[in-house]
Structure 1
Amino acid sequence: MPQNDLTERVRALNERYRHHSATSVMHQALKDPYAGKLALVSSFGAESVVLLHMVSVLKRDTPVIFIDTELLFTETLVYQQDVAERLGLTDLRILHASQNSLWMQDPKNDLHKSDPDACCNLRKTLPLQAALHSFDGWITGRKRYQGNTRTALELFEVEEGTHRIKVNPLAHWAPEDVRTYIEENNLPRHPLVAKGYPSIGCMPCTSPVMPGENPRAGRWRDTDKTECGIHFVNGKMIRKGEHA
């Protein structure tokens, strides 16, 4: 589809659902032809259970993509299995980087120390981009309050460098909205949340967050990196005005 047509689709979707609740945005997106065929990409992290629960209620057979970087916390892997079983997700797809790629580019499992962007590209972006070829778009859990590049986040956006859209049902939610949803639906929390991890990624690149810090301050601490590799194109961050 031409990029200008995709941009018009996203504009129309944002206009159509601008005043809808997150649950309604999710529900409508999963059946709106303008949105196309969607998958939910989930890290099974600190707040992931919200969208996973919505999907389990609205359309349980929605494809759910989980990227196992092989550098995740053990707690995340156990939580992923528990939540998927509890919610009855019927189309869970677990991705890995190819062993050949890991052997060639990160034989000592230490690429994250010298080049975290390249590590994200190898372990997250490349496997995800391959898996998304058969989809028109994907659902993310990003929110404006997470700051940095997310402060102007829309419900629907064009994924830079592709012909896909991203759906961000929780874009306008506040932290208390997340907590309330989890509590009201009696959903299990990731065990690391109680240990000071409000945002959870790979083990080597995630640290606890101190009171008063941005929730994502523990991700790639003491570097200028602010985004997960799946929101990169070809291994680099795409900022406003840049193109892949």
Structure 2
Amino acid sequence: MALHETFSLGVDPELGLQAEVAALNAQFEDATAQDILRAAIRHQFAGDIALVSSFGADSAVLLHMVAQIDPSTPVLFGDTIKMFPATLLYRDELVEKLGLSDVRTFKPSKEDLEANDPAGMLWMSDTDACCHIRKVAPLERILTGFEAWISGRKRFQSASRANLEVFEIDQGRVKVNPLADWSAADILDYAKAHDLPPHPLVAQGYPSIGCMPCTDKVAPGEDPRAGRWRGQDKTECGIHWPTHGKEIDGSGI
């Protein structure tokens, strides 16, 4: 389906998000990632959309695309206080290189840490609770006021993401996944074409990078996310669960 010159879908708000998301997925079925982002940032969700970025292994590609469209787009980065130092340095490098002017770093609340993880070792006994305190709850707070947000998830990354849609509903907001159908080769080709620096840990065997205690190296042939929460029946931190906000304390992702 051809992309409209301007994003004037005109979905009746009474039909709700389900109808809006279905229409968006139909309209942008064959659109490029850049066209999807341009329409979302400049038209459909203008002023009400943010990019949530981990500044991880593949993050530079989406950050570059957004910077080319509007470098003042809010970029939300969650510092769990358990990050690799290399990730924080990489964040600063990309922000400067790409000219991103509204990067907002959010952290877990002092009250949550004091009440639930005073020793900083909760990840050893309950990774879901740790992720909730350090990622999910802080993200929900910082997303307040935004109508939509952009994610860098891709179908090839894991079995749980294999059927990922470009537009989906998340906690009453629209989530945009412009790279859903991109392959690992697509990511590398784009990064090379635009001279984007790689995350320094990728060369050391980390194709997916999260918090330091819960990220392991990945062997050749393994799922790219196999090193996340190694040995556990866990593949997501919680921010992408459809029940986001309702698992841990009756509210939590």
Unaligned runs of 5+ in 2: 1-11
8 Å contact from structure 1 (residues 35, 165) kept in 2: no
Post-superposition CA distance 1:157-204 (Å, at most 9, x none): 011xx2101100000001100000000000010000000000000000
Q: Which amino acid aligns with 2:51?
A: L
User: C-alpha distance in 1, partners of 2:47/2:16?
Assistant: 13
Q: Which amino acid aligns with 2:139?
A: L
8 Å contact from structure 2 (residues 210, 228) kept in 1: yes
8 Å contact from structure 1 (residues 148, 226) kept in 2: no
Q: Which amino acid aligns with 1:8?
A: A
User: C-alpha distance in 1, partners of 2:157/2:55?
Assistant: 17
User: C-alpha distance in 1, partners of 2:224/2:119?
Assistant: 30
8 Å contact from structure 1 (residues 35, 137) kept in 2: no
Post-superposition CA distance 1:55-93 (Å, at most 9, x none): 111111100000000000000011111111111101100
Partner of 2:145: 134
User: C-alpha distance in 2, partners of 1:3/1:68?
Assistant: 37
| 2:16 is the alignment partner of 1:37 | no
Partner of 2:199: 190
SS at match of 2:111: helix
Shift of 1:217: 0.3
8 Å contact from structure 2 (residues 229, 235) kept in 1: yes
User: C-alpha distance in 2, partners of 1:195/1:220?
Assistant: 18
Partner of 2:162: 151
Q: 2:27 aligns with which of 7, 16, 19?
A: 16
Identity %: 50
Q: Which amino acid aligns with 1:141?
A: G
| 2:65 is the alignment partner of 1:54 | yes
Post-superposition CA distance 1:106-126 (Å, at most 9, x none): 011111111111111100011
Root mean square deviation, CA, Å: 1.9
User: C-alpha distance in 1, partners of 2:45/2:202?
Assistant: 36
User: C-alpha distance in 1, partners of 2:222/2:169?
Assistant: 30
Partner of 2:3: none
Partner of 1:240: none
Partner of 2:7: none
Partner of 2:112: 101
Q: Decide whether aligned partners of structure 1 residues 4 and 193 sit closer, same or farther in structure 2, where only a CA change above 3 A counts.
A: same
Unaligned runs of 5+ in 1: 238-243
Partner of 1:241: none
User: C-alpha distance in 1, partners of 2:62/2:246?
Assistant: 26
User: C-alpha distance in 2, partners of 1:234/1:57?
Assistant: 32
The alignment of Structure 1 onto Structure 2 pairs a total of residues equal to 236
- TM-score (normalised: structure 1): 0.92
Q: 2:214 aligns with which of 192, 197, 205?
A: 205
Q: Which amino acid aligns with 2:118?
A: P
Shift of 1:29: 1.2
